[in-house]
Every structure is written in C-alpha cells, then in structure tokens.
Amino acid sequence: MAAPGLICRLAVPTHLNPVKHHCLECPQRCAKHIPDLSFLGRLKTRHLAVAVPYCRWREVGADGDAWFRTWRMRLPNEHLHHLDRDSLVALLACHGFECVTLNGFEDGIRLRPGEVGPNIFSGFLGRGR
C-alpha cells in the first residue's frame, strides 16, 4: 500500500510499451489528502486503482449534515475529498476514466467491531479501451 501522498506505478517494460505509459496508477488511499486532483487527467496510464472512505451524506438524506459532523473518517484539514460511488465515478469520468468495477473488499479487513459497511470502497477504472 502506498504511503499518503505517493502514487504507485506498475510500469510495462519499454520494449513492450513503446509509448512509455504506465499500465496502472494507484493513488490508493492517498487521493483524499491531495488538494488539487486535476493531476488525474494528466496521468499517462490506462488503468487507475483507488480506495477512498465511503461518504454516506447523500444516502442519509435529511440527517446527512449531522451524520457528517460525527463521521469517523471526516478529518478536517486532512481528508479533503469525501466521495460516494456516484461522485467518485463522476470525478474520474471528468479526467477520462470509465468505471470498470467498484467494491468494498477492504471493509473485510478494516471494519471495526460493531461497525457496518461500507466504510472504504475501492474502484478500478480505465480509459482508452
């Protein structure tokens, strides 16, 4: 797993990839800390893997503001972006990525006792297919 603020790159050997693009970028668990996400559109990659806290504000409805104030993943001045499935897909679509799959597999190892998911959701996205 990448340290906050780092992006992992899995590179294809140059002789197999003459355009020297990375095959996979993984801003895994760090995108929420980066103020300006416009770099996503400049990534020279065909695939992107991300994991972000699952923000339930929209699904909670009228009680969304109260829920958000006490959400354990809301860390002011640290977690700068709060996303749900629709907003993650829309954000990355603005940068040319299409959703391949979204899942909550990380909850299997990260949920605290008594906690109900989804808490963290992951996405695998691609472009230029």
Averages of pLDDT over runs of 10 residues in the chain (129 residues) are 37 40 54 79 85 88 90 80 90 93 87 86 84
- The reported pTM is 0.73
Does residue 2 sit within a domain? Answer: no
Does residue 1 sit within a domain? Answer: no
86 to each of 55, 67, 77, how far by Cα in Å? 11, 19, 23
Does residue 3 sit within a domain? Answer: no
Distance CA 32, CA 102 (A): 17
Full residue range of the structural domain in which residue 94 is found: 8-126
pLDDT at 101: 93
Domain count, the chain: 1
